[in-house]
Amino acid sequence: MPKRQVLIPLAVYDRVQSRLETSPHEFDVLRWSPSEITWPDGSLVAASDYKPEVGWIPIDLMFAGDFVSFVDSLLEPGTVQWVQSCLAGGDAPPLQKILSAGVRLSNSDSPNAGVAEYTMAAVMNVVHGWPQRSEDQKTARWAQKGWTEINGGTWLVVGFGSIGGEIAKRARPFGVQIIGARRTRVEDDRADRMVTMEELGDVLPSADVVIIACPLTDATRGLVDKEFLNQMKASSILVNVSRGPVVDTGDLLEALDSTGPGRAILDVFETEPLEPLSALWSHHSVTLTSHIAGAGSGITRRGDDVFIEQLNAYLEGRELRLEIYP
């Protein structure tokens, strides 16, 4: 009986080879590259023998720009049953294509620690005034100014799931009060207070930092609009580490130039890559990065661990974590 086949990118094979070879389960590893698919000994896989059951999308594919072509190749024979993704969400078009094909798909919590650390660093960079300090150093300007502490502040995390929880875990030791918002009221020890999404209007006016960490759904698309922004403090900071379409860019730009918030930190955008002519690039109240919040140095190791753990669970017929349902 033919062995089950697991398709992984050639670029990551050496990194996980020993862990795959010592697995208690029997399967064949297929190594994918944009030009060919090979067996571990380097010989080409014939088209008639190409029947992957499992596929793995590691972060390396995203950095190499091979995400789309890998998914197309994976789905082509119509044999794949389950795919493990490195991403925290399932809204990317290639992932939607996997789901539309009726294939099981799991996302990953490997980016979460990086997103949380990015959020902490980005907020403190702004409130501590480091951009101005850098300018002072360039001009040899001795400027003794006070700075804002996050201690005693209130952070509202909209979408208090695994990423929101990681942010809370890092912020609370600094003396930050955490308000978590979810679709339904669920008590959570990681937050000082939990509210529903319908109750956001009750807590937005008191939040010093509002962090958008919810998934992109029909309900959250355009959630951060004029009404939402008008309820924020004029001095507050909006952070979006969710998905671009959750925030209405036009409404945000208008609010930044009028009632507030006072600052926006954006890692995701309605259109990516962000167009060079976008007003966000040069806006004095915007700090932006190129969708890299989750790309910390630990994501590769954590992503490998998630794949091996999940692969064993799949091959043993156990329940998979983080499975996405269409």
The per-residue pLDDT for range 47-93, each reduced to its tens digit, is 999 999 999 999 999 889 999 999 999 999 999 999 999 999 899 99
Mean pLDDT of 195-203: 97
- Cα–Cα–Cα angle for 174, 290, 104, nearest 5°? 90
In this structure, is the dihedral angle defined by the CA atoms of residues 221, 226, 232 and 237, taken in order, positive or negative?
positive
Helix (H, G, I), strand (E, B) or coil at 29: strand
Q: Which CATH architecture has domain 112-288?
A: 3-Layer(aba) Sandwich (3.40)
Helix (H) or strand (E) holding 15: helix 10-21
Lay out the sheet containing 37-38: strands in order across.
Answer: 37-38, 27-32, 4-9, 54-57, 82-85, 104-106, 323-324
pLDDT of residue 206: 97
What is the predicted pLDDT for the residue at 185?
Answer: 87
Q: Which pLDDT tens digit goes with each residue over 218-252?
A: 999 999 999 999 999 999 999 999 999 999 999 99
Q: Which pLDDT value is given to residue 58?
A: 97
Q: What are phi and psi of 7, to 5 degrees?
A: -100, 125
Active site residue 25: no
Q: Residues 28-55: what's their mean pLDDT? A: 97
Q: Which member of 135, 198, 199, 272 is catalytic? A: 272
Phi, psi of 286, rounded to the nearest 5 degrees:
-115, 130
Buried b / exposed e across 183-197, counting CB within 10 Å, b at 16+? eeeeebebbeebbee
58 and 303 Cβ atoms separated by less than 8 Å: yes
DSSP 40-75: TTSPBPPGGG---SEEEE-HHHHHHT-HHHHHHHHH
Q: Is the pLDDT confidence value at 1 over 70?
A: no
Cα 109 to its chain centre, rounded Å, is 9
Q: What is the pLDDT of residues 87-135, one digit of tens each?
A: 998 999 999 999 999 999 999 999 999 999 999 999 999 999 999 999 9
**pLDDT of 60:** 94
CA distance 325 to 217: 13
275 is catalytic: no
CA distance 248 to 129: 27
> Is 272 a catalytic site residue?
yes
Query: Does 4-110+298-320 match 112-288 in CATH topology?
Result: yes
Domains of the chain, residue spans: 4-110+298-320, 112-288
Is the confidence at residue 322, as pLDDT, over 70?
yes
pLDDT value at position 2?
Answer: 78
- What CATH number belongs to 4-110+298-320? 3.40.50.720
- Residue in 182, 263, 291, 302 annotated catalytic: 291
Of 182, 243, 263, 302, catalytic: 243
Query: Token pair for residue 181?
Result: 């918002």
Report the chain's mean pLDDT, rounded to a whole number. Answer: 96
Assessment of whether the complete model's pTM goes beyond 0.85: yes
